[in-house]
Structure 1
Amino acid sequence: MNLALWICAGLLAAVALAGGISKTFVPKETLAAAHGGGWTEDAGVGFVKTLGVLELLAALGLILPAALDIAPALVPVTAVCWVLLMIGAMVTHGRLGEARFVLLNLAYLALAAFIAWGRFGPAPFTG
């Protein structure tokens, strides 16, 4: 169980890192032109960058607290926050009729829910 949770956290952290880097450092116009980036057309630059920073923090929060054994309880808290973020992403892509991205966000949500459940429940980081 512990290994599965670490693998899921690593995969989700990689997704969060990639999304965070793109939203934080790629110009909004470039994001809007990319496949699945149409939602950024109606969003402010500050909002897009804020989401990017939140995703970067999520990437760190899914791995570092447990890896460094400093407040490892932040891992499932971060996973719960990711679930909330994915609900927002699903609503946004759903409104645009992008069912493929809704399903992708649902997969990310499922990974985060598994991490939260596992780390709050059967496999917490306790000594």
Structure 2
Amino acid sequence: MNVVLWIVAGVLAAVLLVSTSKMFVPREKLASLGGAAAEWVLDFSPAALRAIGVLEILGAAGLILPAALDIVPILVPVTATCVALLFVGAVIMRLGRGEKATIVPDLVYLAMAVFVAWGRFGPESFVN
């Protein structure tokens, strides 16, 4: 179970890091490259997209670094909970835009974050 939690946390961290491209790529270009699934960026200001990107970077770091460096490892499930809330926001935004077809990846990432939070708060906690 520990290995599975590490793998899921690693994949989720990678997804969060990749999605930070919204901080560096102009929203118009991102919307045109990503198709219908990326048009949501046009609804947000560049500052809001940077803020979301910062949250994603912090989430990626918080899923891996506290446990890997053995510095306050309780932050891993706390971060996973925060990442789950980030994806709840993404799901709500997609539903508000009527994007039922593009909501599936966000639901999968939400489930992954909940799984990591559950596993690290419960059966495979880093805190003894």
Q: Same fold (TM over 0.5)?
A: yes
**Does the aligned pair in 2 maintain the 1:90–1:101 contact within 8 Å?**
no
SS at match of 1:106: helix
**Counterpart of 1:65 in structure 2: which amino acid?**
P
TM-score relative to the length of structure 1: 0.94
For the aligned residues, what is the CA RMSD? 1.1
| 2:101 aligned partner | 100
- Please report how far the alpha carbon of residue 30 of structure 1 lies from its aligned counterpart in structure 2 after TM superposition: 1.2
| 1:43 aligned partner | 44
Q: Which runs of 4+ in 1 moved over 4 A?
A: none
SS at match of 1:26: coil
| 1:113 aligned partner | 114
2:26 pairs with 1:27: yes
Unaligned runs of 5+ in 2: none
Whole-angstrom distance in 1 between the partners of 2:61 and 2:76? 9
* 1:39-98 C-alpha deviation (Å, 9 max, x unpaired): 111211100111011101111110000000001111101100111110110111122222
2:13 pairs with 1:16: no
Whole-angstrom distance in 1 between the partners of 2:93 and 2:10? 25
TM-score relative to the length of structure 2: 0.93
**Does the aligned pair in 2 maintain the 1:58–1:82 contact within 8 Å?**
yes
| 1:58 aligned partner | 59
**Counterpart of 1:27 in structure 2: which amino acid?**
P
Whole-angstrom distance in 2 between the partners of 1:42 and 1:109? 22
SS at match of 1:101: coil
* 1:1-56 C-alpha deviation (Å, 9 max, x unpaired): 10110010001000001012x11111111122222121111211100111011101
**Does the aligned pair in 1 maintain the 2:74–2:127 contact within 8 Å?**
no
Moved more, 55-64 or 23-32: 23-32
